Amino acid sequence: MLKISVLVSGGGTNLQALIDAQNNGILKSGKIVQVISSRPDAYALERAKKFGISTDVADFKTLGENFENKILELLEKFKPEVIVLAGFMHILSKNFIEKSGAKIINIHPSLIPAFCGKGFYGLKVHEAVLKSGVKITGATVHLVNEIPDGGEILAQKAVKIFPDDTPEVLQRRVMEQAEWIILPQAVEKVCSKISKIIPYSIKYPGRGIITGMTPSGNIALAYFIMGRSSSSKARIFERSGNELIIKLTKQDKNFDPSLILYSPLRIFAASDDRQEDKIILTNGDQTDTIYDFLKDGKTFEDALRTRDYEPDEPHYTPRISAIISKSGFKQSILKRAGKYFFEYKFEKGSGRLIHTYDHDVTKDKILPSFSGEPREVKISDDIEEFSSSLWQELGEDYRVALYVRFYHSDFVKYQDRLFNTQTL
């Protein structure tokens, strides 16, 4: 599920419409995780608190030139994939839009391209509409770009104007008959279309692990690899019994394959009936370390505490790992900043994604490591749909291989899908 941050400045009626839509199941592909107000006294903050939504303030009056930087700093707490401007009375710069790494959606109280652009906001829009003598107005939801009200239109709805309308009366009618209806619909449309598994802002996640459960209660896993160099791209996944190995389609004589050839998936058989098997899934040779430690009666954590991140300066790629049993799963990431472990019970229809790299390459061309808790993702019952969608999201430029496995209820039989960009 995508994370949504809402920027507000006033009463928050459009925020309330989004909250209601979320509670009523209209907004189902995204979740409001944060509300940021440009005014400390905005009633929208109270609306958010009532529903347990995290609130922050970036006071426009006191921050001045640091206003946008403060908002970007606050957004870092949740790293939303979608930002909604709901009665947010400030124009955002091109720099902000690019740095946010999110789709930004705005609601405007007119039928764009009429009565829009710089200077048209709040009651000023409705005053201009009534002064012009037009018979129809309405509202528009659009994506935000560097041109005020100039982004791609997502939805519009017309509203009638009556002879005795005042700006205040017209404003209320436009909200009730247009804004509160089309804003949640448009936000859901955007959330459902943009990356459902890999966050929209991440162009090169590197290697990734997904572990979780389908809506019908079957344990699911996925592992993918991406590559930028010719050597990294010259790899394929191959089944080896009920495990997975990586092979090279070609090999450069001067290339050390130690970091790209390993067993991503191994099964630790805890008993003859295999009901207590443990599935080990990693992005490196720590697969074997974990397996050996389990054989000695030690733990997943014991094994990984003996390992570190990869020695591929300057990136220092993290080592990501997971272990799955019938009762739940654990994930881990070993990076320069420390060693982190996460433990989860299964939730039907939900999983966790952890990957090596976060966001885009930095200015000095270093790949930044994944940060925070593994991302919550949806897992469907349809392995074909899930695996094909994930493969498409990885993109043609860098995707190398993908393996997906859905277990049956016995945690022994399974169905799987394997994708390789290259072949032997």
Residue 102 is encoded by which pair of tokens?
């999110």
Cross-strand bridge partners of residue 243: 240
| Residue at token pair 């399974």 | 414
Task: Decide if 26 contacts 188 (C-beta within 8 A).
Answer: yes
Three-state SS string across 144-169, please?
Answer: CCCCCCCCCEEEEEEEECCCCCCHHH
Please tell me the distance from the alpha carbon of residue 323 to that of residue 278, in angstroms, as a whole number. 7
Q: In whole angstroms, what is the distance from residue 341 CA to residue 265 CA?
A: 19
108 flagged as catalytic: yes
Which residues, other chains included, contact 272 with Cβ-Cβ below 8 Å and sequence gap of 6+?
none
Whether 241 contacts 269, CB under 8 Å: no
For residue 185, give the 3-state DSSP assignment. Answer: helix
Which residue out of 108, 142, 315, 355 is catalytically annotated? 108
**What is the spatial distance between Cα 214 and Cα 201, in angstroms, rounded to a whole number?**
25
Sign of CA dihedral 296, 301, 306, 312: positive
Distance (Å, whole) CA 237 – CA 156: 47
What's the CA gap between 135 and 129, in Å, rounded?
A: 9
10 Å CB burial of residue 88 (0-12, 13-18, 19+) is buried
**153: exposed, middle or buried (C-beta count within 10 Å: 0-12, 13-18, 19+)?**
middle
Which of the 8 DSSP states describes residue 315? T
Cβ atoms < 10 Å from Cβ of 267: 15
Residue-level length of the chain: 424
Q: Which residues are catalytic?
A: 108
